[in-house]
């Protein structure tokens, strides 16, 4: 009988908490994206809108396009503070410059969560990211394994000063260092700013400068790896003669994996976006809030909710393979 009474009391408290949330004004969240041209960011935006709290009207998420400019993001952070948003989530452009958004949010007493890319501070409420050093290691390892840990590679980097370029670069170097000394030569490394078009131009120049010398391409995101593939094809080479890898798991990269043209390390846009919203909601609503996204069940044992109090959540990577690529494409509606 005591257990029954306790169970009924717990159920009553849960119902009361849910009713309180439903009756309250929606939690207003400003979601600051570094730029919305790339498919990965568009996927994050899609999954943010699909968060159960948003769909049920418990949260309102306003998405901001930072236009790949740290100064623009800082201005948007100040605007979010002035507009009295309940919480701020930032996908930062610059590792150092965008610390300003954390500073102004903290001064205003607004919870701030950092997602996808990182900032050189620990003053945010929490980070919901993926370990970019590991991601850079996994993609470079895929290239080097195909090459047998020998040959010439080029590295197409992300925007200089961003955490993705810094940390994925460290992972790239770690993988190269595991090969015999001098067996792998980095012929070129330069930024293409996450852009497929810029990477295409860059790769065309490198193919001209190093005719028949390049064996592998390490693209620090999929868009740039795909630009390199276009350049290789347009130059009349067989893309399957190269070892190529990227990061993100964008749709065209999934198709290229299926075609045997590259390796992609999938970064979970859904996990990052929805995880960030759950953490922000917990900070605003308080103890009545329980995580509403099913990502916590998906990654149980690898990434625990911990009552929304973990300083850094690392959303796991998935290596895209011929065995899992069809399921991933199906999830995108293809």
- pLDDT digits 0-9 by tens, 220-276: 999 999 999 999 999 999 999 999 999 999 999 999 999 999 999 999 999 999 999
Does 156 score more than 90 pLDDT? yes
Taking residues 20-27, report their average pLDDT: 74
Give the chain as a 3 state SS string: CHHHHHHHHHHHHHHHHHHHHHHCCCEEEEEEECCCCCHHHHHHHHHHHCCHHHHCCCEEEEEEECCCCHHHHHHHHHHHHHCCCCEEEECCCCCCCCHHHHHHHHHHCCCEEEEECCCCCCCCCEEEECCHHHHHHHHHHHHHHHHCCCEEEEEEECCCCCHHHHHHHHHHHHHHHCCCCCCEEEEEEEECCCCHHHHHHHHHHHHHHCCCCCCEEEECCHHHHHHHHHHHHHCCCCHHHCEEEEEECCHHHHHHHHCCCCEEEECCHHHHHHHHHHHHHHHHHCCCCCCCCCHHHHCCCCCCCHHHCCCEEECCCEECCCCCHHHHHHHCCC
Taking residues 185-195, report their average pLDDT: 97
Q: What is the pLDDT of residue 4?
A: 39
262 and 273, same domain (yes or no): no
Q: What is the pLDDT of residue 155?
A: 98
Q: What is the pLDDT of residue 10?
A: 38
pLDDT, greater one: 145 or 13: 145
Does 3 score more than 80 pLDDT? no
Does 76 score more than 80 pLDDT? yes
**Which percentage of the chain shows pLDDT scores above 70?**
93
106 and 141, same domain (yes or no): no
pTM equals: 0.88
Residues forming beta bridges with residue 59, ordered by sequence position:
27
Domain count for the chain, please give it. Answer: 2
Q: What is the pLDDT of residues 86-125, one digit of tens each?
A: 999 999 999 999 999 999 999 999 999 999 999 999 999 9
Q: What is the pLDDT of residue 145?
A: 98
- Cβ atoms within 10 Å of 301's Cβ, excluding its own: 5
Q: Is residue 96 part of a domain?
A: yes
Q: Is residue 71 part of a domain?
A: yes
Q: Give phi and psi for 30, each to the nearest 5.
A: -90, 125
202 and 76, same domain (yes or no): no
The chain-wide mean pLDDT, for the chain, equals 93
Does 22 score more than 70 pLDDT? no
CATH number where 194 lies:
3.40.50.2300
173 and 249, same domain (yes or no): yes
What tokens were used for 4? 């029954």
Using CA atoms, how far residue 324 sits from 131, 145, 250, 270, 331, in Å, is 21, 20, 14, 17, 11
Q: What is the pLDDT of residue 23?
A: 60
Q: Is residue 57 part of a domain?
A: yes
Q: Domain limits at 273?
A: 2-129+269-315
Q: Is residue 29 part of a domain?
A: yes
Spacing of C-alpha 145 from chain mean position: 25
Q: What is the pLDDT of residues 43-64, one digit of tens each?
A: 999 999 999 999 999 999 999 9
């Amino acid at each position: 009988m005591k257990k029954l009474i306790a169970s009924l009391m717990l159920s009553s408290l849960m119902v009361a908490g849910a009713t309180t949330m439903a009756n309250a004004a929606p939690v207003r969240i400003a979601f600051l994206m570094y730029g919305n041209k790339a498919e990965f960011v568009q996927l994050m935006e899609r999954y943010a809108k699909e968060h159960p709290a948003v769909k049920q009207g418990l949260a309102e998420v306003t998405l901001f396009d930072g236009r790949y400019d740290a100064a623009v993001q800082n201005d948007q952070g100040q605007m979010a503070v002035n507009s009295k948003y309940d919480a701020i989530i930032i996908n930062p452009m610059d590792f150092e410059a965008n610390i300003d958004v954390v500073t102004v949010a903290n001064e205003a007493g607004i919870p701030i969560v950092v997602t996808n890319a990182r900032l050189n501070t620990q003053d945010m409420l929490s980070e919901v990211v993926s370990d970019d050093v590991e991601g850079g290691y996994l993609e470079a390892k895929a290239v080097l394994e195909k090459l047998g840990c020998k040959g010439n590679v080029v590295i197409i980097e992300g925007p200089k000063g961003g955490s993705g370029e810094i940390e994925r670069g460290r992972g790239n170097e770690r993988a190269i260092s595991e090969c015999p000394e001098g067996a792998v030569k980095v012929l070129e490394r330069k930024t293409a700013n996450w852009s497929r078009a810029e990477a295409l131009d860059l790769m065309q120049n490198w193919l001209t400068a190093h005719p028949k010398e390049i064996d592998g391409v390490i693209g620090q995101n999929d868009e740039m790896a795909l630009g390199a593939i276009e350049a290789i094809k347009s130059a009349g080479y067989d893309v399957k003669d190269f070892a190529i890898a990227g990061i993100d798991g964008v749709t065209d990269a999934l198709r290229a994996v299926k075609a045997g043209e590259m390796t992609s390390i999938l970064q979970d846009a859904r996990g990052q976006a929805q995880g960030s919203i759950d953490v922000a909601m917990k900070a605003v609503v308080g103890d009545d809030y329980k995580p509403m996204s099913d990502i916590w069940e998906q990654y149980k044992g690898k990434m625990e909710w911990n009552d929304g109090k973990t300083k850094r959540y690392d959303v796991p990577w998935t290596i895209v393979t011929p065995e899992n690529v069809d399921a991933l494409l199906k999830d995108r509606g293809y």
